Amino acid sequence: MYPVITISREFGSGGHSIGEKVAKELNIPFYDGEIVNRVAIESGYAKELIEEQGEHTNVSDKWFSISSASTMYFQSPQDEIFLAQRNVILDCAAKGPCVIVGRCSDYILKNEDIPAIHVLIHADMPHRIKRVSERYGEIEDISVKKRIQKKDKQRRTYYRYYTDQHWGDYENYDLALDSGTLGENICVACICETVKHYAMEQEGK
Amino acid sequence: MYPVITISREFGSGGHSIGEKVAKELNIPFYDGEIVNRVAIESGYAKELIEEQGEHTNVSDKWFSISSASTMYFQSPQDEIFLAQRNVILDCAAKGPCVIVGRCSDYILKNEDIPAIHVLIHADMPHRIKRVSERYGEIEDISVKKRIQKKDKQRRTYYRYYTDQHWGDYENYDLALDSGTLGENICVACICETVKHYAMEQEGK
């Protein structure tokens, strides 16, 4: 049986698209938007808010200030979203092999008794600028670069706050791939091959 | 045609053995010991010295002090070994597809016009202690751990000094693999698959 595959990604590296293709190739569920829907039901917060706050932290945000100051007796809305998201991710993973994108899913599944492979997709700035510009139609490289840097910072801060780990430390991933140099298709092939071999070894045990 | 494959590795992660198997599977040359032999001929230094100084730096070492203080008019023996090693690595890579282990080969080939895939092999401490103990027959976990930490530190310092990059930054590698969680065979399969797809894409261009 295939393991659960978590995909952490730098903004603009194509990690979402790679995850989607891996899920399709392996014929297993792909969770990204669905997690948002289910967290909305579980937490009662609006989908737009979960999308915004579910893996990003703006340090100047009043919610983050509330989170930072929170005690065991008090949970900020961001904490509540994190916990609801954690439950949904654990539930998805417990159902069987799947691909889960972002949302600290690598950390959440790390010590669970669920076979999992944790993947990081990264790329250098020129490749990411090109990809983001193509996708969102922005023209100026400088503004795209600023947007990428801001998103990265928000994700890093969020990850750091909720996992106490540094986002992007290679020790946290079984597999880290440069989608800029390798390209999306090679990343997909590489992940699928690793997962297939992993499943074969697990079955042989 | 396959690209050149450089393998950087944490001490005890099995990177050398993985590189050897990848070379065998792809039927291309594997360079590790041979580099030492050729550097010995080119530089005039003894093989034992090159093995010791060719990718490790002991910060308390008088040679490192000399290197650090060296100017453009003076090269320390360690600088000379680095330059001879650089020439040998470039020469090996220019001859065609091959696997080269360590010695800042990723950095040396980075801006060359030679198709290359840069791999990092890492593993957590318990896996590395187990591997080193099995290989070198040491019994006490604590002394093995100290040995691993020392080797890592020496390699990091050397890499940092000659490349001005941080050893282990994921941005420096196309592919980073955890040999502890994945196991040696899956790492070999994953690298070979990536390389084969890379070669197919290059040929299709």
Beta-bridge partner residues of B100: B6, B31
CA distance A108 to A115: 13
The distance of B115 to chain A (nearest Cα, Å) reads: 11
**Cβ-contact B22, B6 below 8 angstroms:** no
Supply the mean pLDDT for chain A.
86
ipTM: 0.88
The helix (H) or strand (E) run that includes residue B93 is helix B77-95
- Determine whether the interchain pair B170/A174 forms a contact, defined as Cβ–Cβ distance below 8 Å: no
**Cβ-contact B198, A182 below 8 angstroms:** yes
Q: Which residues of chain B does A198 touch, with a Cβ-Cβ cutoff of 8 Å? A: 182, 186
Which of B4, B202, B203 lies closest to B97 in space, CA to CA?
B4
* Residue B196 lies in domain: 4-204
Does position A73 have pLDDT exceeding 80, yes or no? no
pLDDT at res. B50: 83
Is A28 in a helix, a strand, or coil? Answer: coil
pLDDT category, A7, cuts 50, 70, 90?
very high
The model's pTM is: 0.89
Q: Looking at the 3D structure of chain A, how many domains does it have?
A: 1
**Cβ-contact B107, B4 below 8 angstroms:** no
The distance of B113 to chain A (nearest Cα, Å) reads: 14
Q: Are strands A175-178 and B99-101 parallel, antiparallel or unpaired?
A: unpaired
- In the chain, the amino acid numbered B72 is M
| Residue B186, CA distances (Å) to A163, A190, A200, B22, B191 in order | 28, 11, 10, 11, 9
Does position A72 have pLDDT exceeding 90, yes or no? no
In the block, which residue shows the tokens 């308390």?
A: B60
CA distance A161 to A51: 18
Smallest CA–CA distance from B10 into chain A, residue = A171
CA A201 to chain centre: 26
Of B176, B177, B194, the CB nearest to A182: B194
Count A/B contacts: CB-CB distance under 8 Å: 79
Q: Are strands B175-178 and A175-178 parallel, antiparallel or unpaired?
A: antiparallel
- Determine whether the interchain pair B170/A120 forms a contact, defined as Cβ–Cβ distance below 8 Å: yes
| Residue B64, CA distances (Å) to B54, B108, B149 in order | 12, 20, 19
- Determine whether the interchain pair B194/A197 forms a contact, defined as Cβ–Cβ distance below 8 Å: no
pLDDT at res. A138: 63
Burial of B156 (0-12, 13-18, 19+ CB in 10 A): middle
| Range name among A31-45, A83-97, B119-133, B172-186 with the lowest pLDDT average | A31-45
Beta-bridge partner residues of A5: A99, A117
Q: Which residues of chain B does A122 touch, with a Cβ-Cβ cutoff of 8 Å? A: 170-171
Q: Which residues of chain B does A185 touch, with a Cβ-Cβ cutoff of 8 Å? A: 197, 201
**pLDDT per position as a tens digit, A186-205:** 999 999 999 999 999 888 77
Calculate mean pLDDT across residues A152-174: 88
What is chain B's pLDDT, residue by residue, as a tens digit (205 residues)? 999 999 999 999 999 999 999 999 999 999 988 888 888 888 888 888 888 777 777 655 555 555 555 555 567 788 888 888 899 999 999 999 999 998 889 999 988 889 999 999 999 999 999 999 888 776 776 788 888 999 888 888 888 888 888 888 888 999 999 999 999 999 999 999 999 999 998 887 7
pLDDT category, A156, cuts 50, 70, 90?
confident
Beta-bridge partner residues of A118: A6
pLDDT at res. A58: 59
Which of A18, A120, A182, A190 has the most B C-beta neighbours within 10 Å, making it the best mutation to test the interface with B? A190
Of B122, B173, B197, the CB nearest to A171: B122
Of A178, A193, A197, the CB nearest to B174: A178
Of B117, B171, B177, the CB nearest to A175: B177
Phi then psi dihedrals of residue A30, to 5 deg: -120, 120
Calculate mean pLDDT across residues A76-99: 90
Question: Under an 8 Å CB criterion, which residues of A touch B?
Answer: 117, 120, 122, 124, 168, 170-171, 173-178, 181-183, 185-186, 189-190, 193-194, 197-198, 201
Which of A1, A198, A154 lies closest to A63 in space, CA to CA?
A154
The distance of A55 to chain B (nearest Cα, Å) reads: 21
A47: domain CATH number is 3.40.50.300
Burial of A79 (0-12, 13-18, 19+ CB in 10 A): middle
- In the chain, the amino acid numbered A151 is K
Of A171, A174, A189, the CB nearest to B193: A189
- Determine whether the interchain pair A174/B175 forms a contact, defined as Cβ–Cβ distance below 8 Å: no
